[in-house]
C-alpha cells in the first residue's frame, strides 16, 4: 500500500515543473494521472474477473516489478508521450498492489481480526504521504525526474525483497457468495474516489501557485497533512464491523465541506496545510470504511472484491483528474473544489437511500408484529 501510493503521489509536487518542461498547462499535465487511472482501473478490473486464478503473493510481486519499471521510465522520458506511457505503468502497478494488499490483509490474518488488519494495512497509503512526500519534494530540488524515480523505486524494491521471504501460500479461492451487492457499492465509491483523487492530484499545485513555495516545501507540507490520517484510522476501527455504511455518509459530507474550505480560504501555506490535514483525516477514514463494507459483502471472494475496490480508486483518479482539470481551467481553484465537493456528496447518496429504505422496511414489520400480538396472544 505504501509503494502503490508512492507511485500515485510522485507527480503531485512536480506537476508545474513537468508542465513547464513540456510546454503544457498545469491542468493538461494533470491528465497524466487520467491515463494512469485508466491503466490502473483496467488492471484492477482484470483482477476482479480473474481473482480466483491469481495468487496474492504473485500479484504483489508483479505489481512491485511494474512500479519499478514505471518509475524508471518516468525518470528517463524524453517527451510527454513517453512519460504518459510510464505513468500508465505506474497506474497499472497501483491496481495490482492495492487489490492484492487489501485482499491479503484479510486472507493472511486470523478470523475475527480482518477489520483490524484491513485498517492497519490501509495505513500504508497515508504513511507514504508522511515519509514519501517530503523525500519526493527534496529530490525534486534536484529535478522533477529524481522525484518521479526515487521513492517509488525504493518502495518497489523493498516490497519485492520482503515478499521474497514470505512463504508461498496456495492461490486464493472464490468459494464465497456471489458479488451481487458490489455494483451498488462501487458507484458511490467511484464518485468519492474521483473527489479524493482530484484533491491528491491538484493539492500540490495549489500550494505552488497560491503561495509560490518550492517543491521541497510542498512535499513537507503534504507529508505533514498526511499525519491527519492516523487518528482517523484508529478511531474508526471499532465502527467498521457494524456501522461502515453510516460512516460513509457522515464522512462523505464532512469531506465535501472541508474540501470547499481548503480551496476557498487560503490565508497562508501553514493554514492551508492544516485544513488539508482535516481533509486527509476524513477522506482516508472514509476509504477504510468503504473497503470494510466491500469485504463484508464479498465473503470469501476477497481478491475479486478488492479488485473492484482498486478499480473504483483508479477510475476515480481518472474522473477526478479529468473533471478537476476542466474545473481548474474554467474557474480556478475555487471552481475546482466546488466540483470535487459535489463528487464527495454524490458518493453519499446511494448509502443514504439504503439506510432510509432499511428504516422504512423495519417500521411496518414492527407495527404488524405488535398488532398480531395484541389481537391474538395465543398465536405467539
Look at residue 371 and tell me if it is in a domain.
Answer: no
Confidence of residue 15 (pLDDT cuts 50, 70, 90): confident
Domain holding 325, by residue range, is: 2-166+181-357
Look at residue 248 and tell me if it is in a domain.
Answer: yes
Q: What is the pLDDT of residue 364?
A: 56
The rounded mean pLDDT for the chain is: 81
Q: Give the number of other CB atoms < 10 A from CB of residue 378.
A: 4
- 63: domain CATH number? 1.20.1250.20
Measured at the CA of 131, the angle between CA 129 and CA 133, to 5 degrees, comes to 50
Look at residue 11 and tell me if it is in a domain.
Answer: yes
Q: What is the pLDDT of residue 152?
A: 93
Look at residue 252 and tell me if it is in a domain.
Answer: yes
Tens digits of residue pLDDT in 33-42: 777 778 888 8
Look at residue 156 and tell me if it is in a domain.
Answer: yes
Look at residue 174 and tell me if it is in a domain.
Answer: no
Tens digits of residue pLDDT in 18-32: 888 888 887 778 778
CB-based contact 335:327 (threshold 8 Å): yes
Q: What is the pLDDT of residue 180?
A: 55
Q: How many domains does the chain have?
A: 1
The answer, yes or no, to whether residue 258 has pLDDT greater than 90, is yes
The answer, yes or no, to whether residue 370 has pLDDT greater than 70, is no
C-alpha 99/C-alpha 101 separation (Å) is: 6
Task: Please state the rounded mean pLDDT for residues 214-224.
Answer: 78
Q: What is the pTM of this model?
A: 0.72
Residues with Cβ within 8 Å of residue 75, at least 6 apart in sequence: 145, 146, 148, 149
Residue position matching grid coordinates 464491523: 241
* Of 101, 111, 114, 107, nearest in space to 61 by CA: 101
Confidence of residue 52 (pLDDT cuts 50, 70, 90): low
Confidence of residue 169 (pLDDT cuts 50, 70, 90): low
CB-based contact 255:279 (threshold 8 Å): yes
Look at residue 32 and tell me if it is in a domain.
Answer: yes
Q: What is the pLDDT of residue 306?
A: 79
C-alpha 109/C-alpha 118 separation (Å) is: 9
Look at residue 368 and tell me if it is in a domain.
Answer: no
Q: What three-state secondary structure class fits 77?
A: coil
Amino acid at each position: 500500500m505504501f509503494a502503490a501510493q508512492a507511485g500515485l503521489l510522485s507527480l503531485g509536487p512536480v506537476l508545474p515543473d513537468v508542465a513547464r518542461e513540456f510546454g503544457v498547462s498545469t491542468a493538461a499535465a494533470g491528465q497524466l494521472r487520467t491515463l494512469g487511472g485508466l491503466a490502473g482501473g483496467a488492471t484492477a478490473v482484470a483482477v476482479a474477473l480473474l481473482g480466483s486464478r491469481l495468487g496474492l503473493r504473485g500479484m504483489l510481486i508483479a505489481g512491485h516489478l511494474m512500479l519499478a519499471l514505471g518509475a524508471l521510465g518516468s525518470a528517463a522520458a524524453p517527451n510527454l508521450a513517453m512519460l504518459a506511457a510510464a505513468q500508465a505503468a505506474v497506474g497499472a502497478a497501483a491496481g495490482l498492489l492495492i487489490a492484492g494488499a487489501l485482499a491479503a490483509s484479510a486472507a493472511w490474518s486470523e478470523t475475527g481480526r480482518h477489520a483490524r488488519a484491513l485498517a492497519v494495512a490501509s495505513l500504508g497509503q497515508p504513511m507514504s504521504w508522511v515519509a514519501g512526500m517530503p523525500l519526493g519534494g527534496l529530490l525534486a530540488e534536484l529535478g522533477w525526474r529524481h522525484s518521479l524515480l526515487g521513492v517509488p523505486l525504493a518502495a518497489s524494491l523493498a516490497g519485492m525483497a520482503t515478499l521474497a521471504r514470505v512463504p508461498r501460500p496456495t492461490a486464493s479461492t472464490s468459494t464465497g457468495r456471489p458479488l451481487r451487492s458490489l455494483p451498488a457499492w462501487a458507484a458511490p465509491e467511484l464518485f468519492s474516489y474521483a473527489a479524493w483523487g482530484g484533491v491528491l492530484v491538484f493539492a500540490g499545485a495549489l500550494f505552488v501557485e497560491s503561495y509560490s513555495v518550492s517543491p521541497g516545501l510542498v512535499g513537507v507540507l503534504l507529508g505533514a497533512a498526511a499525519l491527519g490520517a492516523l487518528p482517523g484510522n484508529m478511531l474508526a476501527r471499532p465502527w467498521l464491523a457494524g456501522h461502515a455504511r453510516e460512516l460513509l455518509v457522515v464522512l462523505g459530507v464532512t469531506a465535501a465541506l472541508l474540501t470547499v474550505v481548503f480551496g476557498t480560504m487560503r490565508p497562508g501555506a501553514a493554514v492551508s496545510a492544516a485544513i488539508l490535514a482535516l481533509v486527509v483525516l476524513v477522506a482516508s477514514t472514509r476509504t477504510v470504511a468503504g473497503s470494510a463494507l466491500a469485504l463484508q459483502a464479498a465473503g470469501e471472494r476477497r481478491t475479486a472484491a478488492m479488485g473492484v475496490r482498486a478499480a473504483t480508486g483508479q477510475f476515480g483518479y481518472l474522473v477526478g483528474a479529468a473533471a478537476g482539470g476542466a474545473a481548474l481551467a474554467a474557474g480556478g481553484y475555487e471552481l475546482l473544489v466546488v466540483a470535487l465537493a459535489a463528487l464527495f456528496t454524490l458518493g453519499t447518496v446511494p448509502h443514504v437511500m439504503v439506510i432510509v429504505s432499511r428504516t422504512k422496511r423495519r417500521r411496518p414489520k414492527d407495527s404488524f408484529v405488535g398488532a398480531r400480538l395484541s389481537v391474538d396472544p395465543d398465536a405467539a
